[in-house]
Structure 1
Amino acid sequence: MELAAKAWPDLGPYFKKESLALVPLGSTEQHGPHLPEGTDHVIAESLAREAADRTGYLCTPTVNVGVSPHHRQFHGTMWVDAPVFRDYVESLSRNLTYHGIDRIVFVNAHGGNVAHLREVGRRLRDAEDAYAIEWMWDESIPTLVSDLFEHNGPHGGPKETAMIQHLAGDLVQADRLAEAHEDGATFPTDDTHQNGARTFYDAIDNSSNGVFGDQTDATAEKGEQLFEAATDQLCELCEWLADREFEDLMAKPHV
């Protein structure tokens, strides 16, 4: 069920019966010369809506701008400061709890959001207002990702390229896939660490065009496999979470 598409009287029965919501989150940032800047939020929204359609759970509007200052050197990248992002997502989540939601799945497709969504989840759980869990699509299907791509990449690589080829193929610059690979980098590069310390902050420190992996290995067919497998994982997560007793999801008492 898509919240934004419903009139308020039609949402009342859902809040009486259910207590779970899906919140898709992504980013608007560079994804190399071949992918749209909306790659992450397109993926997050597509997965959340599909899971909501299959399970009947509520899907909220998408948070399209995330924590992305590490891509700021590339044209058009948008970001919000991390404290602002955390406060915004927490406020949005508390809005849901006002209507009776007490468990939330942050359907996330941007690595830069992960730590901050975990912090928001901790705040909500510590206050015993809700149990909110961060879900990153590719982390739910690591074996499939490894099986499909010999040279994967953490950003703008073949897995994200394949997903967008499947979900919004008209937004992919197919004639730039080779360029993306040739001017990009394989991750991790040799100079990413020094004596155990991570020495980079921005994507451009390691890749002149901001992306990693072999984009030429991506196809829409592989993207469909990724999408279906990740959606199955998300649906199973929702059902698992809905079946838990709220008290069992809260922090354990002091020993």
Structure 2
Amino acid sequence: MYLGDEAWPDLETYFEEESLALVPTGSTEQHGPHLPEATDHLIAEAFAREAAERTGYLCTPTINVGVSGHHRQFHGTMWVDPPAFREYVESLTRNLTEHGIDRVIYVNAHGGNVPHLREVGARLRQDETAFAIEWMWNESIPDLVDELFEQNGPHGGPKETAMIQHLRSELVHDDRLEEARDGGIPSVDAAGTVKHGSRTFYDAADNTENGVLGDQTDATAEKGEEMFEAASDQLVELCEWVAAREFEELLPEPHV
């Protein structure tokens, strides 16, 4: 069920019977010369809607702009500062609890959001408002990703390229895949920006001239479909696990 499609009287039964919501979170940022800036939020929304379709759980509108300041040197990248992002996500989640939601899965597709979603979730759990957790699609199927790609990226690499080829092929510039590979770098290690155990870089542009890593020519829509199905299965199982728990089970352990 997608919240935005429903009239308010038709949501009453859901909030009476269910307590779980899926909140897709992504970004609007550069993904190299071959992928759209919408890449992350398109992926997040696709997974959240797929899981909602399979399970009947509620999917909210997508948070399209995230913590992406580290891509600011590239045209069109949008971002909010981390405190603003955390405050917004927490406020939105507390809004859901007003309707009876007490468990939330942030269906996330942008690495820059991860620590901030975790921080928000920890605060909400600590004050016993809600159990809110972050889910990252590729982290749910690491073995498959490693099996499909010799070097998966991470950013704008073949795994994201394959996913968008599957979900929105018309947005992929297939004629620029070699350009993306040759103008980027294979990995962060190859950039040489880790010095004596220190990550000396802060921005994507410190590592890669065109903003991406990995071999984009290794991507296919078929690989994207395989990852989408496998990760969707994992998200559905996570939904069912979270929904089956008594709320008290999800709260912090008492002081020893």
**TM-score, normalising length: structure 2:** 0.99
The one-letter code of the counterpart of 2:251 is M
Identify the residue that residue 223 of structure 1 maps to in structure 2. Answer: 224
Identify the residue that residue 249 of structure 2 maps to in structure 1. Answer: 248
Q: Does 1:206 align with 2:213?
A: no
SS at match of 1:120: helix
Identify the residue that residue 72 of structure 1 maps to in structure 2. Answer: 72
Identify the residue that residue 167 of structure 1 maps to in structure 2. Answer: 167
The one-letter code of the counterpart of 1:74 is F
Deviation track 1:70-92 (CA, whole Å, cap 9, x = no partner) reads: 00000000000000000000000
Deviation, structure 1 residue 152: 1.2
Deviation, structure 1 residue 154: 1.2
Output the aligned Cα RMSD: 0.6
Deviation track 1:120-178 (CA, whole Å, cap 9, x = no partner) reads: 00110011000000000000000000000011101000000000000000000010000
Question: Which runs of at least 4 in structure 1 moved beyond 2 Å after TM superposition?
Answer: none
The one-letter code of the counterpart of 2:175 is D
SS at match of 2:238: helix
5 Å-filtered alignment, 1:230-241, equals 230-241=231-242
The one-letter code of the counterpart of 2:219 is A
| Maintained 8 Å contact 2:158/2:214 | yes
Deviation track 1:205-242 (CA, whole Å, cap 9, x = no partner) reads: 11000000000000000000010001000000000000
The one-letter code of the counterpart of 1:246 is F
**How many positions carry a matched residue from both structures?**
255
Identify the residue that residue 47 of structure 1 maps to in structure 2. Answer: 47
SS at match of 1:16: helix
| Maintained 8 Å contact 2:185/2:191 | no
For 2:193 and 2:232, locate their aligned partners in 1 and report how far apart those are by CA, in whole Å.
Answer: 33
SS at match of 1:4: helix
Deviation, structure 1 residue 192: 2.2
For 1:204 and 1:60, locate their aligned partners in 2 and report how far apart those are by CA, in whole Å.
Answer: 33
| Maintained 8 Å contact 2:50/2:232 | yes
Unaligned runs of 5+ in 1: none
Deviation, structure 1 residue 190: 4.7
Identify the residue that residue 198 of structure 2 maps to in structure 1. Answer: 197
SS at match of 2:168: helix
Q: Does 1:59 align with 2:72?
A: no
**TM-score, normalising length: structure 1:** 0.99
Identical aligned pairs, as a percentage? Answer: 73
The one-letter code of the counterpart of 2:243 is A
Identify the residue that residue 97 of structure 2 maps to in structure 1. Answer: 97
Identify the residue that residue 147 of structure 1 maps to in structure 2. Answer: 147
For 1:243 and 1:152, locate their aligned partners in 2 and report how far apart those are by CA, in whole Å.
Answer: 34
| Maintained 8 Å contact 2:191/2:208 | no
